[in-house]
A and B are shown apart, each in its own frame.
Chain A
Amino acid sequence: GAVVSQHPSRVICKSGTSVKIECRSLDFQATTMFWYRQFPKQSLMLMATSNEGSKATYEQGVEKDKFLINHASLTLSTLTVTSAHPEDSSFYICSAPTRLDGELFFGEGSRLTVL
């Protein structure tokens, strides 16, 4: 079946640095991908919708200059957390639909820890 893969699964970085998380659709083309963030014991929070070849659509309250999303190909979307701070430490998850009425596949998630 369709698979969405994220890399890295875990990353630790120093405050002030930038971190890039990749989301790949392995056996299907994804014109749309969604990025979520999840804090401990909370539900997933939608950050943005990534569209291949165009700008991402960010949810209210999400800083687009801090969370840079690029969807340059039909199989890859990237989320870059710029100038990361400890409060950006979270579990970041991407997802992609396979067809109009089908299931939404999720990546394994990427746990970011900012020291």
Chain B
Amino acid sequence: DAKTTQPPSMDCAEGRAANLPCNHSTISGNEYVYWYRQIHSQGPQYIIHGLKNNETNEMASLIITEDRKSSTLILPHATLRDTAVYYCIAKKTSYDKVIFGPGTSLSVIP
């Protein structure tokens, strides 16, 4: 699976959009980009995934660059409950094992 790189931490004002970047410059053509988050002392939660088209669901939007070397997770209106560690992962199938990096610790500030 391709290695991903994320900033270690970010702050976001409550109510504003949180834009979390991820670099996956070595991603292969059949690898999906997955995003998960982990709120303190809980199991990770799936957010969204995509291959090459932008995706949106009730939680977030995923913007993947045309060359697929990077992506951005967008939380349109961040709330305090969105404070968590966000993980960006590239893998071919959901059956592939996931090696987690350090992720981005997002703090939503009142």
Contacts and interface: CB of A to CB of B under 8 A. Distances in A.
Interface centre among B42, B44, B87 (most CB of A within 10 A): B44
Interface string B83-110: 0010100000111011111110000000
Nearest to A103: B46
B45 A97 contact: no
Contacts of A108: 42-43
Contacts, number: 61
A109 B46 contact: no
A44 B46 CA distance: 15
Contacts of A46: 97-100
Interface of B: 32, 34, 36, 38, 41-46, 49, 85, 87, 93-95, 97-103
A2 B19 CA distance: 28
Say what secondary structure dominates the interface of chain A: strand
A101 B44 CA distance: 18
Interface size class of A (residues with CB under 8 A): 20 to 34
B44 A93 contact: yes
A26 interface: no
A67 interface: no
B67 to A, nearest CB: 21
B44 A106 contact: yes
A104 B43 contact: no
A84 B50 CA distance: 41
